[in-house]
Amino acid sequence: MFGHKSPAPPPQTLDLRAPEPQGARPKRGVGRNWLIAGVIVAGGIVAAVLGTKLLANQSDPFPSSIREAAEYPLYYARTLPSGFILADGSPAKMVGGVASLTYRYDGHPLVVNMQSRPKANLPEPFRLKDVDLSFGHGYVANINGNPAGVIETDKTLVFITSEDKLDADVIVQLMRSLAPAN
């Protein structure tokens, strides 16, 4: 036993952490909880934005019977500006080659009439405002004492009228929201 040494015990490490109270749950996943909450909030925001966009986008209101009868492109407000709605009980109509839709702005009716563009030049009414559009030339004119929107495309002539005296800017908003029907 002289020459034989017993191995030294392994060194002890000191645990300097405060002891957890009895019955306490260990703190695990606190950062993970914040991450999950952040993902849920971000998902809610994305859903709200997409829902608003989808509700604002309007489906094509023209039935196939009107599309087949029209010999010119049809237009409708694909995205309605604030304050505008497609009038209830006023579906798209076609009478005598003129297609029409009725919108309302704060309760005031606006009728959008579309017809084949005549070959002759249109008379020049008193223009209140020119309107740049991606699909044609537009302007607001004084017709019978009321502002009215006029859009000229290669094949379609569009009139936007209201019996109520609406501001020209209201008509311009509707003009700029129009897009070709599918």
CATH of the domain at 132: 3.30.200.100
Domain of 72 in residue numbering reads as 64-180
DSSP state of 79: B
Q: What pLDDT sits at residue 165?
A: 84
Same domain, 127 and 75: yes
Dump pLDDT digits (tens) for 30-58: 667 767 766 677 666 655 554 444 444 66
Please check whether residue 42 lies inside any domain of the structure.
Answer: yes
Give me 100's structure tokens: 């029409």
Please check whether residue 145 lies inside any domain of the structure.
Answer: yes
Same domain, 38 and 125: no
Please check whether residue 4 lies inside any domain of the structure.
Answer: no
User: pTM of the full predicted structure?
Assistant: 0.66
Q: Under 8 Å CB-to-CB from 171, ≥6 apart: which residues?
A: 110, 140, 147, 148, 149, 160, 162
**Which residues in the chain land under pLDDT 50?**
50-56
Same domain, 125 and 98: yes
Please tell me the total count of domains within the chain.
2
Q: What pLDDT sits at residue 51?
A: 46
Q: What pLDDT sits at residue 54?
A: 41
DSSP state of 57: B
Same domain, 166 and 125: yes
Q: What pLDDT sits at residue 8?
A: 64
Same domain, 108 and 156: yes
Residue 9 CA to residue 84 CA, distance in Å, equals 85
The H or E element that residue 95 is part of is strand 93-95
How many Å separate Cα 154 from the centre of its chain? 27
Same domain, 52 and 108: no
Same domain, 98 and 126: yes
Tell me the backbone φ, ψ of residue 134, rounded to 5 degrees.
-75, -20
Please check whether residue 8 lies inside any domain of the structure.
Answer: no
Same domain, 37 and 112: no
Helix (H, G, I), strand (E, B) or coil at 155: coil
User: Mean pLDDT across the chain, nearest whole number?
Assistant: 80
